[in-house]
Homo-oligomer: A and B are copies of this chain.
Amino acid sequence: MGWEQELGEADRMWRTYIEMAKHLNSHLQQHLQRECDLSAADFEVLVRLTESERREMPVAEVAAATQWEKSRLSHQLTRMAQRGLVERVDSDDRRYPDVRLTDKGYAAISKAVPEHTEMVHALFVDVLGPERLAGFAQACADVLRALDRHRKRDCTL
């Protein structure tokens, strides 16, 4: 066939990264699901909500924090509300309802965060050690900047 056998060093390294990301992700996700009965999406929303003092914030704020589409968030909140993890609250301006963390939701995230953090440390932070971790993060930040630049160019086209 041709091109696909000629994988250079760089491409093999790219594949290593892809593999790592895939496995790490699925491992963390499965753990969260098994131990805490939370999907990754549930977890993310709950974490964002705890970042407010009042366990409550406008939907738009959650949307901004998660960078999700509004419709995705809306569906997600509906499902989470059905399971009693959050509840929708009408704020003073009826257009922009708030979301509040219920006690059940708070209990769930309180259990999940330490477990998740422990897992992240065991599988990632401690594996790399401080210096390599710093280098890794720096690399990620650089890639992020490159992405931003690229995106800006695409938008202005």
What is the 8 Å Cβ interface bit string for chain A, positions 115-157, against chain B (1 contact, 0 not)? Answer: 0010011111101101011111101111110110011000000
Given known pairs A21-B21, A147-B23, the reply for A140 and B16 (CB within 8 Å) is yes
A4 contacts B by Cβ under 8 Å: yes
The interface residues of chain B lying within 8 Å CB-to-CB of A13 are: 125, 133-134, 136-137, 140
Q: How many copies does the complex hold?
A: 2
Residues of the B chain whose Cβ atoms lie less than 8 Å from the Cβ of A3: 113-114
**Contacting pair B27 A140 (CB below 8 A):** no
Contact across chains for B24 and A136 when beta carbons are under 8 A apart: no
Since A10-B130, A23-B147, A128-B139 are in contact, a sample of 14 more A-B pairs with Cβ atoms closer than 8 Å, ordered by chain A residue number, is: A1-B51, A4-B51, A10-B133, A13-B140, A16-B137, A19-B140, A21-B140, A22-B67, A27-B147, A27-B150, A123-B146, A123-B150, A128-B143, A135-B135
Chain A positions near chain B (C-beta within 8 angstroms): 1, 3-4, 9-14, 16-17, 19-25, 27, 47, 50-51, 53, 55, 67, 113-114, 117, 120-125, 127-128, 130, 132-137, 139-144, 146-147, 150-151
